[in-house]
Structure 1
């Protein structure tokens, strides 16, 4: 399992649209084969900054999602709302203390 972190900055006037779109798609993304966890975070100080954290079974599962119709649909709707280039990291979880 590994973690995918994506940082996205949105035009202020697009935030509500983004949140609505995320709400419409979150269950499909979470239910995609190989996705084991999905969360959305919002920066407390820079409120147009959002982060998704998703856990994937393996890199193949993430690549399958990234090549899917679902991803293409979600990304097409989302990328037009950005006010900066998104950033993404794939990381291995080293320690977790629940």
Structure 2
């Protein structure tokens, strides 16, 4: 599983437009092959900062979404609303070795 987090900063006057884009596209994103989870977070201290948090079966599934027509519509519309560059990263759950209790 691949977890993708994208931090998005908007001009205050563009937050409503972003939320509309997200609401109109979230169900379609969730239906993309390999998408297992999608949610939107809002920064606790800065109401114009949001993060998308998604889970993908594989990096290939995320890449396929990023090459899709849906992404080709959603991302440019969202990107036009930014007031700062986005910060995106992918992570895997850590597989820590089991420890023996003393």
Q: TM-score normalised to the size of structure 1?
A: 0.94
Residue of structure 1 equivalent to 2:98: none
CA distance in 2, matches of 1:93, 1:5: 13
Name stretches of at least 5 consecutive residues in structure 1 with no aligned partner. Answer: none
Extract structure 1 runs of 4+ deviating beyond 4 A.
Answer: none
Name stretches of at least 5 consecutive residues in structure 2 with no aligned partner. Answer: 96-102
Residue of structure 2 equivalent to 1:53: 53
CA distance in 1, matches of 2:65, 2:72: 9
**What SS does the corresponding residue of 2:89 show, helix, strand or coil?**
strand
CA distance in 2, matches of 1:69, 1:3: 22
CA distance in 1, matches of 2:32, 2:59: 14
* C-alpha displacement of 1:94: 2.4
* C-alpha displacement of 1:44: 1.6
Deviations 1:30-84 (A, max 9, x none): 1101100001000121111100100000000000000011001000110000000
CA distance in 1, matches of 2:93, 2:70: 26
CA distance in 2, matches of 1:94, 1:24: 33
How many residue pairs get aligned? The number is: 95
Q: TM-score normalised to the size of structure 2?
A: 0.90
**What SS does the corresponding residue of 2:84 show, helix, strand or coil?**
coil
RMSD: 0.9
**What SS does the corresponding residue of 2:50 show, helix, strand or coil?**
strand
Q: Which has the larger radius of gyration?
A: 2
